[in-house]
Each structure stands twice: as C-alpha cells, then as structure tokens.
Amino acid sequence: MRTAMRTQVGIVGAGPAGLVLAHLLQRRGIESVVLENRSRDYVEKRVRAGVLEYGTVQLLTETGVGDRLRREGLVHTGVELRFDGQGHRIPFDELTGGRSITVYGQQEVVKDLIRARLEAGAPLLFGVADVSLHGVDSPTPSIRFRADGQDQELQCDVIAGCDGFHGVSRDSVPAGVLTGYERAYPFAWLGILAKAPPSSEELIYTYHERGFALHSMRSPQVTRLYLQCDPDDELAAWPDERIWDELHARLATRDGFTLTEGPVLEKGITGMRSVVLEPMQYGRLFLAGDAAHIVPATGAKGLNLAVADVWVLARGLAEFYRTGSAAELDRYSATCLRRIWRGQHFSWWMTSMLHRFRGDDEFGHRLQLSQLAYVTSSRAAATTLAENYVGLPLG
Ligand code: FAD
Ligand code: DHB
C-alpha cells in the first residue's frame, strides 16, 4: 500500500538548488514538497563552496533569507592573483561599478534556507529512500519514495530534479534525449578547513610551478585552503604536515608572506570536471544545478549557477500557474544554458590559467604566465575577470 500525497511542484534534493527553488515558489504562493535522501544534520555540515556572487546575495537578501548572511558574510571587493612570488590585486568594485562578492559557506546558506522553510511549516522531508520518478512526460508526473518505513507517492504537476550530480532525476530521462558535453582535467583539489585566522584579508589564487593553491576563509577564525593534487591521490597520502609544507611553498612571496597554521578541522579531495547536459527539460521534469551541469571549482561558479537556474524556473512556474501558459517554462533550458556556458567558459579559463599541467610543457607554462601578466596589467583584461567573477546580472 502506498500513501498518496499531492503538491504542485515536487522537488528532489535539498541542496542550494532545491531549497532556493522551494523558497522562491513559496513566496509566489506555489506549493512544493522537498524530498532529500540525507539527514538534516548531514546536509547542514557538508562543506563545499564559499563564494556568493553579487546577484546571489541580492536574491537571498531581497527574498528574506539574507539576515545572517549580511551579518556574518565577508564582503570582498577584490581578489589577489599570485604568480612569480608576487601578488596582484583585481579590484572588483572599481572595475564593475561597485560590485563585490561575499564569502559565506554553502552549508550556512543551506542552514538558513532549511530554517526558513521549517519555520514557515512548509514540507521538507529528510532521510527519504528509494526515490524514483514516474510519468515525467505526462501532465501528471509523480515521485515514489520510502519514508518512515512507508511507501509513498507524491503526485505533482511538475518535478524539479535538484538532486546534484549523483542524483536519480537525470536517469529518468529516456536514453538519447540528453546530450552530454564534457571535459576532464588531469588534477583535483585537496581542500582543508583550518582553525587559524586568515593570512590575508582577500582570496589568493596562486599559480606556482608546484601547482595551484588557493587561500580563502570562512570567518575571522577559520581559513579554507586548497591545493592542486593528483586526481588519483588518496587522503592518506596527505598528512597535515605535507599539506602545510606544500601550502607554504606555493603561497610564498618574494616579500615574505606568512601563512598562519592551525588544527585541520576538515579535509577532502574534489575532482575537476566540466559537464553540461542539454536540454534541461524533458516533459514535466526540469533539471537544475549540479543535476544538469558541473564546473571546475576555480571560478567559484557551481553554487551560483544552481541559484540562477532555479530563479529562471521559479519565474516560469509563476507564469504557468498565473496564466496557464508554458511559454516561459519552455524557454527554461535555453535561458539557463546561456549563463551556464558563460560560467563554463570562465571556469575553464580560470582553471587553465592557474593550474600546472602534467609533463614539461614549457610552451604552455609560458602562455599561462603571459596570460597572468596580461590579466593583472590590462584594465580591459582585468575587467573581464572581474565582471565574470562577481557574476553577470540574473535574467
Ligand atoms: P547539491 O548541493 O549536490 O544538492 C543536491 C541534493 O540532492 C543533496 O542534498 C543530495 O543529498 C540530494 N540527493 C541526491 N540524490 C538524491 C536522491 N536520490 N533523492 C533525494 N535527494 C537526493 N563549488 C564552488 O563554487 N566552490 C567549491 O569549492 C566547491 N566545492 C565542492 C566540493 C564538492 C565535494 C562538491 C561535490 C561540489 C563542490 N562545489 C563547489 C560545487 C557546488 O557545491 C555545487 O555546484 C552546488 O552544491 C550545487 O547545488 P545543487 O543544489 O545543484 O546540488
Ligand atoms: C572557495 C571555493 C572556490 O571554488 C573558489 O574558487 C574560491 C573560494 C571557498 O571555498 O572559499
């Protein structure tokens, strides 16, 4: 026996895409149910991205979930590019008419959205199992799942597949409908959170002969650091001492930069890939965020693209319920893909400029140095980086 429920929009996944979508729909009076297979504790502790574009911050603030973000988020008006032992600042505010980015952990955004949803008494189910999608090419799609030991079915008008890169939504689309465009990179990032005050007020993206390194932060007491590593590396090969030695070597400057160490609170390795699946709609199923595309982390675009997708989807759904017209929804994929491909290009460009490629490709190395010198000396080139980094306007 299955217990049946009904809603307007069934949302699979309580990551940034699913939670922001549920929030935007609720503000427009559209009902949704969010189904998440992990526990609340797990999703609130999952350490991932940290950079919010200007438009992402505006969206969260204007829709009433930005209070803590405004209080605790760290507003940055520039970043440093470091190479040849020297730092060069890209001033975002000056180059983009006053725009900035905000450093605020993805799990903090997730916590704020979960709290807002539960306080509003809106449905968000954690720890559901065996999620499967049915009838997605019909006007009455449904989601089957198991919760509290009970088989359940959620009948919907529309399903939003916001279940990330390893979710099930994408697999509900018949073979041959989606085309995947992909690029793999021959390296990965080893990321740590350290209980140490940041060693610089701003993010530092470093190109070094030993490989890329990134200095970021989460608060005045916690530093987030990343190192380029081999994609096959295991964490066991990276004891804390080796990580700090490598960070000191790569971040060193000619004028004696000092990196403050501290206890390592978290450690993880993330692969680097670019993937886009087209189109992002099949019948009444809409894919959003990592379920449809992933970017290498160097451009800090993954979370921001997920938010931009669901902003477009919420607008289309609002028109659908207000007027009965699916015209805006039918443009969902094409509208999102314009921004996604810009984000893909930017992420690929930053990744290619800042990582050390295997082998002794001296020609490639010199091209990278030339590009870095250009980006940090030409106002036109620096503006290209700045306007993409702070994010192009939504819509
Ligand atoms: P997700 O955050 O993946 O959310 C999907 C949700 O769906 C999850 O909660 C998942 O548990 C749930 N789910 C999955 N399967 C099911 C199912 N069958 N049923 C129900 N629920 C399901 N981006 C950056 O910009 N900078 C970074 O440093 C960075 N680091 C990253 C590190 C890692 C390890 C990963 C995986 C990604 C990282 N990203 C980073 C990318 C960024 O975090 C993502 O782009 C962002 O999380 C996308 O949000 P999303 O909601 O689309 O997907
Ligand atoms: C962070 C992550 C990124 O991918 C990036 O490009 C910049 C900062 C971070 O986690 O702080």
CA dihedral (380, 382, 388, 392) positive or negative: negative
pLDDT at residue 369 greater than cutoff 90: yes
- Mean pLDDT for the stretch of residues 180-200: 97
- How would you write 194-207 as a 3-class SS string? ECCCCCCCCCEEEC
CA distance 131 to 153: 10
Atom of ligand 2 nearest to the CA of 302: 4
Q: Are 386 and 95 in contact (CB under 8 A)?
A: yes
Q: According to the model, what pLDDT value does residue 229 have? A: 98
CA distance 173 to 162: 14
Bridge partners (DSSP) listed for residue 145:
152
- Candidates 279, 214, 202, 207; CA nearest to 243 is 214
Q: What is the pLDDT of residues 61-94, one digit of tens each?
A: 999 999 999 999 999 999 999 999 999 999 999 9
Atom of ligand 1 nearest to the CA of 38: 11
CA distance 220 to 231: 31
Provide the token pair at 185. 């990179």
Atom of ligand 2 nearest to the CA of 299: 6
Q: According to the model, what pLDDT value does residue 312 have? A: 98
Q: Is 326 exposed, middle or buried (0-12, 13-18, 19+ CB in 10 A)?
A: middle
> What is the number of the ligand closest to the CA of 270?
1
Residue 167 Cα to ligand 1 middle (Å): 10
Q: What is the pLDDT of residues 28-61, one digit of tens each?
A: 999 999 999 999 999 999 989 899 999 999 999 9
Q: What is the mean pLDDT of the chain?
A: 97
**Which residues 6+ apart lie within 8 Å of 85 measured at CB?**
252, 253, 254
Q: Are 356 and 246 in contact (CB under 8 A)?
A: no
Residue 92 Cα to ligand 1 middle (Å): 27
Q: What is the pLDDT of residues 110-155, one digit of tens each?
A: 999 999 999 999 999 999 999 999 999 999 999 999 999 999 999 9
The verdict on the CB of residue 35 being under 6 Å from ligand 1 is yes
CA distance 20 to 14: 9
> What is the number of the ligand closest to the CA of 225?
2
Query: Cα dist. 123→14, 26, 76, 293 in Å?
Result: 11, 11, 35, 27
Residue closest via CA to ligand 1's atom 13 equals 163
The verdict on the CB of residue 199 being under 6 Å from ligand 1 is no
- Mean pLDDT for the stretch of residues 346-357: 97
- Mean pLDDT for the stretch of residues 308-329: 98
Query: Cα dist. 93→40, 79, 313 in Å?
Result: 37, 11, 30
